[in-house]
Amino acid sequence: MKKYFIAIALLSLVLSGCTQGMYKWNGYDDAMYQYYKSPVEKEAFMENLAKIIALGEGTNNVPPGIYAEYGFLHYEGGNFAEAINYFQKEHDRWPESRIFISKMIRNAKMALERSAGTARDINVGPAVGVGANGELIEVPQQGDL
């Protein structure tokens, strides 16, 4: 009986585990998990994303969201010029990202102008907020007006 269960376990592993993928993820999931587990290791997550980009760019096949995620980590670190650079790549590669990423590019440009490269406590959001009745609203960001 036990043998059957082992066989089932192996079979389901074979069926589900070895899917051939379109993208080279380079352990994106595990790297993000590690980063959530220990947020001081931001560098490791950034290195992982840089590697995914390097692996994908050769074949013009960087997975969706990776440029943006990498750009955003630069953004959080106050490196707005690099953030804009990678946001732009996401924007150009994936048309589906454009509405969201355009707002992020606009924010990063404003942040760059304001800070001239210095990291600072800033609002990173692209204009989502909670209204008086708990509804979602678009709110103007600093510098928008």
Partner 1 sequence: MFRELTRIKSVLLVVAVFVFITGCVATKDYTKFNNAKPASILVVPVVNRSVEVSASDYFLSTITIPIAEKGYYVFPVYMVKRVLEDDGLSDADLVHNAPTQKLSEIFGSDAVLYINIEKWEAKYMLLTTQVTVDLSYVLKDGDTGEELWAERQTMVYVPQNQSTGNPLADLLVMAVNAAVTKAAPNYMPLAKQANNNAFAYPGPGIPSGPYYVKPKPGTTHQN
10 Å CB burial of residue 112 (0-12, 13-18, 19+) is middle
30 binds partner 1 (CB under 8 A): yes
C-alpha–C-alpha distance, residues 71 and 24, integer Å: 19
Residue 136 backbone class (left: φ over 0; alpha: ψ -120 to 50; beta: rest): beta
Tell me how far, at minimum, the Cβ of 123 lies from partner 1, in Å.
Answer: 6
130 binds partner 1 (CB under 8 A): yes
What one-letter code names the amino acid at 12?
A: S
Tell me how far, at minimum, the Cβ of 82 lies from partner 1, in Å.
Answer: 14
Tell me how far, at minimum, the Cβ of 137 lies from partner 1, in Å.
Answer: 8
Which residues 48-87 are close enough to bind partner 1 by CB under 8 A?
Answer: 63-66, 68-69, 72, 76
10 Å CB burial of residue 100 (0-12, 13-18, 19+) is middle
Give the residue, chosen from 78, 79, 82, 100, that forms a contact with partner 1 under the rule CB under 8 A.
100
Among 105, 107, 62, 114, CA closest to 87? 105
Q: With residue 112 as reference, give the H or E element that holds it.
A: helix 98-115
User: Contacts with partner 1: how many residues (CB under 8 A)?
Assistant: 58
Tell me how far, at minimum, the Cβ of 48 lies from partner 1, in Å.
Answer: 11
Give the residue, chosen from 114, 129, 142, 143, that forms a contact with partner 1 under the rule CB under 8 A.
129
C-alpha–C-alpha distance, residues 55 and 48, integer Å: 11
14 binds partner 1 (CB under 8 A): no
Judged by the rule CB under 8 A, the positions of this chain that interact with partner 1 are 1, 4-8, 11-12, 15-30, 32-33, 35-37, 63-66, 68-69, 72, 76, 90, 94, 96-100, 104, 123-130, 134-136, 138-139
